[in-house]
Amino acid sequence: MRFAATLIPTLKENPVEARVESHRLMLRAGLIRQLGAGIYTWLPMGLKVLRKVETIVREEMDAAGAQEILMPAVQPAELWQESGRWQMYGPELLRFQDRGGRDFCFGPTHEEVVTDLVRRELRSYRHLPANFYQIQTKFRDEIRPRFGIMRGREFLMKDAYSFDLDEVGLDKSYILMVETYNRIFQRCGLHYRAVEADTGSIGGASSHEFHVLANSGEDVIASCDSCGYAANLEKAEGSSPSAIPGGEVGSMRAVATPGVKTMEEVSAFLGYPLGRMIKSLVVEGEGGAFQLLLRGDHELNLIKAAHAVGSAFVQLVEPARVQELTGVAVGSLGPVGAVLPVLADHCLKDLVGFVAGANEDGKHWVDVMWERDCPKPQMADLRNVVAGDGCPRCQVGSLRLDRGIEVGHVFKLGDKYSKALQVAVQDADGRERTPVMGCYGIGVSRIVAAAIEQNHDDQGIVWPVALAPFPVEIVLVNPKETQAVAVATSLEEGLKKFGIDVLLDDRDERLGVKFKDADLLGIPWRAVVGGRSLKEGSVEVQRRGKPDKELIALDKVVEFLSARVRDGK
Ligand code: ATP
Ligand code: MG
């Protein structure tokens, strides 16, 4: 491909709207342009990368025996009413009407459509197991589209749905997809981790997420340094640390704390460590309001809180509402004489001689003891784990926290959709059975951004070879020099024979400009054709991201580059 004849609108300046490196670099390298909030056009270079990801995903899904289909983006409301999600889905679902006033949505996901297909077409156990997938445009009206295509509103997803006669079959389909995902992310050249994930309101069934590790990731993942345990912070189980020594505990007494508000302020004022202070938070869900107790140095995990109080969803209650519910300010809440039902985090089980709000403004209780001074509440896992916590699985190692970008998600759905849409398949004995389903997503477009987050330097992108728009870029020192053009063209032809596509920078630009753009675009191998090296019968070759340049004899260049690209180096 000729640079001069291709739309590669590189930018010198950093676009002000971009807050993460991948977004900045995708705009600066001319991979994408924004059309509206969370909606982007893919330009030639960006689309090349997107297609590389698609190809890897498609090849591995096909190899796993999944069947590719293509479902419509526009879906009739009736199907969503049947599954109950027309009411449940909320404002992320883009809804509209056709000219006849019939309701539709733009698909954010395709469980309903694929389940409808299966109930019409698959009637016998002989058709199962089946796994259908597509690579298709989704729309989700995200509340905060951001980071470019990382969290877009319109984006490209690979979604797959498996159908099995029973749980044993589902387990097999699920494991096959986990293995397939491992191969996909390895082939993409990404540093990733598979982690246990929360199953949300469906509950019970298993779910794993695949995260590309990067500092800018929106998710936090906990992993054990000793065994293989890894989980999303949303889900990572907190082990209860051994009790913080309480020293000699006197009798519970009240201390005036006028105007002292935050945990840190109270801790400094009273001279007690945060780990010996109890903080109270109020959450509310469909099951009512609860007062939750945590150690002063821990953070509440709302997903765990919802599980603990038996609600699908809870939210933290605003200060004014806390006042309304309890009669005191949120900073003065405590377990002694609490009016709301109380739940405490496991870490508080053995805490002795602690500090807590006195349910009265401007006052704290000091040296409180469970049972002696107030009943021991029901204990639950309520907090986010912190780095250094003991591993809940092996009990030997400790947890570390990393940031991750979710690029894939596998989920055992069970019969949620097949039951709602009344799918019936005859088993070998002629009985009607409801098949069980799994669903498996990959953020095809998000992978492009995640790969850049993980692979860039001050000068630009440093593509993994498997995802680069081109594995090789030839920079012509002077496109008017006919001998150099002839050499470049023959190298391009030679590489093509090995299946290697070349970007040829044939622009009539200063060499410095071409080098800057080459660094920005991040193509793995650069070959400079022209100038003194060419006169001496060689080409200067450099690996992006590495400082050293090598002079390779003209007749060895194709061999040199094709060997390295083939090895994915
Ligand atoms: P997230 O927690 O990031 O919103 P999700 O749980 O809503 O993700 P799924 O419904 O499991 O995502 O979708 C499958 C995959 O699609 C995700 O793993 C992610 O890689 C990708 N994805 C989801 N939402 C977006 C988005 N707004 N923009 C780009 N990719 C997305
Ligand atoms: Mg989402």
Nearest ligand by distance to the CA of 208: 1
Nearest ligand by distance to the CA of 142: 1
Other C-beta atoms closer than 10 Å to the C-beta of 245 total 8
Residue with tokens 């082939």: 187
Q: How far is the CA of 276 from the centre of ligand 2 (A)?
A: 37
Residue 447 alpha carbon, nearest atom of ligand 1: 20
* Calpha distance 546→528 (Å, rounded): 15
Q: How far is the CA of 147 from the centre of ligand 2 (A)?
A: 14
By the 8 A CB rule, do 30 and 517 touch? no
What is the pLDDT, as a whole number, of residue 205? 72
* Calpha distance 379→60 (Å, rounded): 45
How does 361-383 read in b/e, with b if 16+ C-beta sit within 10 Å?
eeebbbbbbbeeebeebebbbbb
What is the per-residue pLDDT across 423-445, written as a single tens digit (0 to 9) for each? 999 999 999 999 999 999 999 99
Asked whether 406 lines ligand 1 (CB < 6 A), one says: yes
Report which residue type is found at 203: G
Residue 209 alpha carbon, nearest atom of ligand 1: 18
Nearest ligand by distance to the CA of 157: 1
> What value does the mean pLDDT take over residues 245-252?
74
What is the pLDDT, as a whole number, of residue 242? 63
Q: How far is the CA of 443 from the centre of ligand 1 (A)?
A: 6
Asked whether 142 lines ligand 1 (CB < 6 A), one says: yes
Asked whether 446 lines ligand 1 (CB < 6 A), one says: yes
Q: Give, in order, the Cα–Cα distances in Å from 494 to each of 86, 291, 488, 542.
A: 56, 71, 10, 18
Residue 140 alpha carbon, nearest atom of ligand 1: 27
Residue 533 has pLDDT above 80, yes or no: yes
* Calpha distance 261→39 (Å, rounded): 44
Other C-beta atoms closer than 10 Å to the C-beta of 90 total 9
Residue 160 has pLDDT above 60, yes or no: yes
What is the per-residue pLDDT across 386-412, written as a single tens digit (0 to 9) for each? 999 999 999 899 999 999 999 999 999
* Calpha distance 49→468 (Å, rounded): 6
By the 8 A CB rule, do 541 and 523 touch? no
Asked whether 409 lines ligand 1 (CB < 6 A), one says: yes
Greater pLDDT, 442 or 241: 442
Beta pairing class for 502-505 and 472-476: parallel
What is the pLDDT, as a whole number, of residue 243? 58
Q: How far is the CA of 107 from the centre of ligand 1 (A)?
A: 13
What is the per-residue pLDDT across 99-148, written as a single tens digit (0 to 9) for each? 999 999 999 999 999 999 999 999 999 999 999 999 999 999 999 999 99
What is the per-residue pLDDT across 18-51, written as a single tens digit (0 to 9) for each? 999 999 999 999 999 999 999 999 999 999 999 9
Nearest CA to ligand 1 atom 22: 443
Q: Which two tokens stand for residue 359?
A: 């349910």
Taking alpha carbons only, the member of 46, 59, 112, 58 closest to residue 85 is 112
Q: What are phi and psi of 306, to 5 degrees?
A: -60, -45
* Calpha distance 304→284 (Å, rounded): 13
Asked whether 139 lines ligand 1 (CB < 6 A), one says: no
Question: In sequence order, which residues have a C-beta less than 8 Å from that of residue 59 and are 6 or more positions away?
Answer: none
The terminus-to-terminus CA distance of the chain in angstroms comes to: 22
Domains of the chain as residue ranges with CATH: 43-236+402-452 (3.30.930.10), 253-380 (3.90.960.10), 470-567 (3.40.50.800)
Taking alpha carbons only, the member of 80, 125, 79 closest to residue 434 is 125
Q: Which two tokens stand for residue 178?
A: 């986990």
Q: How far is the CA of 76 from the centre of ligand 1 (A)?
A: 22
By the 8 A CB rule, do 331 and 262 touch? yes
CA 12 from chain centre, in angstroms, equals 30
Taking alpha carbons only, the member of 162, 201, 203, 153 closest to residue 180 is 162
Mean pLDDT, rounded, of the chain: 94
What is the per-residue pLDDT across 307-358, written as a single tens digit (0 to 9) for each? 999 988 899 999 999 999 999 998 899 999 999 999 999 999 988 899 999 9
What is the pLDDT, as a whole number, of residue 568? 87
State which of 177, 192, 406, 447 you would mutate to test the pocket of ligand 1, scoring each by most atoms of that ligand within 8 A of its C-beta. 406
What is the per-residue pLDDT across 59-90, written as a single tens digit (0 to 9) for each? 999 999 999 999 999 999 999 999 999 998 99
Other C-beta atoms closer than 10 Å to the C-beta of 35 total 10
* The dihedral sign for the CA sequence 411, 416, 420, 422: positive
Residue 151 alpha carbon, nearest atom of ligand 1: 28
Beta pairing class for 363-368 and 425-426: unpaired
Nearest CA to ligand 1 atom 29: 151
State which of 85, 89, 143, 157 you would mutate to test the pocket of ligand 1, scoring each by most atoms of that ligand within 8 A of its C-beta. 157
Q: Give, in order, the Cα–Cα distances in Å from 104 to each of 140, 283, 323, 417.
A: 14, 35, 43, 19
What is the pLDDT, as a whole number, of residue 247? 60
Residue 246 has pLDDT above 60, yes or no: no
> What value does the mean pLDDT take over residues 235-264?
81
Residue 159 alpha carbon, nearest atom of ligand 1: 14
Q: How far is the CA of 447 from the centre of ligand 1 (A)?
A: 11
